[in-house]
Amino acid sequence: MPIERNDYTENLEGSLVELKEASTEARRWIVKMINAAGSGHPGGSLSSIDILMVLFTKVMKHDPADPTWPDRDRFVLSKGHASPALYTALAMNGYFDRTELLTLRKMGSRLQGHPSMNKTPGVDISTGSLGQGLSLAIGMALGGRLDRRDYRVYCIMGDGEIQEGQIWEAAMAASHYKIDSLCAILDRNQLQIDGPTEKIMSIEPIQPKFEAFGWHVININGHDHKDLLLAFKEAESIKGKPTLILANTVKGKGVSFMEGSLNFHGKAPNEEELEQALSELGGDV
């Protein structure tokens, strides 16, 4: 049965308990799968997993039994290196068995280091080249308008990624075409592979910049499930302009030695680190 978009702010307290438990389990899977692969990107996966779990569990309409359902909401992981978070959200919502997560990056696996729409059920578009995802999301949204379908399009971007010019060309286009079915989410964890974003190439002030480009901006705590649910609900109500959810997050959120650490942008935890991470996250999955 399709997961239908509904009033997910009803029974809010029950949803928050469910999301907290699911996000913690998802974090355990993320560190386990990256450890099993011996490579991957835990930092940005852990900073974005709350967003993904809220989207796939409560917000988006989609059908795990029919991944190409024409009326589904679309999702673009522009920061494709955070694929472990996307794969975990898909597995935990029924697209494939969770044990397949442990095949990440292995030869012949459907779960490659960056999402592939040709391999993985539930992946709407292949991503990995940073800066391109927002343009792809706009194309999907305009396609829905031409086809007279009411699906929404969600796109998660990294904060280092918005240093690229294509993002701002896309931001201008989304406003020009009044694409109100588009909701972009910025994973603002303040770190990119070479250091803090503000030292590499300052992107602040983010909110006034997007507002100047004609966007509606919602500034939230990206790890607060209530903030996320209410922000996505608000985004649905905005007409005549796209929405950016500015999600303030922590790189490596949930694992003490990964939080705010550049070392785990693209480094797999070893066995000792995995054991500590799982202990902090409440044990094995």
Q: Give pLDDT, residue 54.
A: 97
Confidence tier at 1 by pLDDT (50, 70, 90): low
CB neighbours (10 Å) of residue 73?
23
- What is the rounded distance in angstroms from the CA atom of residue 106 to the CA atom of residue 111? 8
Q: Give pLDDT, residue 6.
A: 64
Which residues have C-beta within 8 Å of that of residue 273, sequence separation ≥ 6?
35, 257
- What is the rounded distance in angstroms from the CA atom of residue 221 to the CA atom of residue 82? 19
Give, in degrees to the nearest 5, the angle at Cα 249 between 275 and 28: 25
What are the pLDDT digits (tens) for 168-222?
999 999 999 999 999 999 999 999 999 999 999 999 999 999 999 999 999 999 9
What are the pLDDT digits (tens) for 43-74?
999 999 999 999 999 999 999 999 999 999 99
Share of the chain above pLDDT 90, in %: 94
Q: What are phi and psi of 183, to 5 degrees?
A: -130, 110
What is the DSSP track for 189-256?
A: -SEETTEEHHHHS---SHHHHHHHTT-EEEEEETT-HHHHHHHHHHHHH--SS-EEEEEE--TTTT-T
What are the pLDDT digits (tens) for 71-99?
999 999 999 999 999 999 999 999 999 99
Q: Give pLDDT, residue 53.
A: 98
What are the pLDDT digits (tens) for 217-248?
999 999 999 999 999 999 999 999 999 999 99
Q: Give pLDDT, residue 2.
A: 72
Q: Give pLDDT, residue 11.
A: 80
* Domains present along the chain, CATH in parentheses: 12-280 (3.40.50.970)
Q: Give pLDDT, residue 14.
A: 84
Q: Which helix (H) or strand (E) holds 90?
A: helix 83-92
Number of C-alpha atoms within 13 angstroms, CB side, residue 59? 27
- SS3 string of 24-50? HHHHHHHHHHHHHHCCCCHHHHHHHHH
Does pLDDT of 13 surpass 90? no
Q: Give pLDDT, residue 7.
A: 65
What are the pLDDT digits (tens) for 110-120?
999 999 999 99
- Taking phi over 0 as left and psi of -120 to 50 as alpha, with beta for the rest, 121 belongs to beta
Amino acid at 220: I
- What is the rounded distance in angstroms from the CA atom of residue 277 to the CA atom of residue 271? 10
What are the pLDDT digits (tens) for 123-141?
999 999 999 999 999 999 9
Helix axes of 225-237 and 12-37: crossing angle, nearest 10 degrees: 110
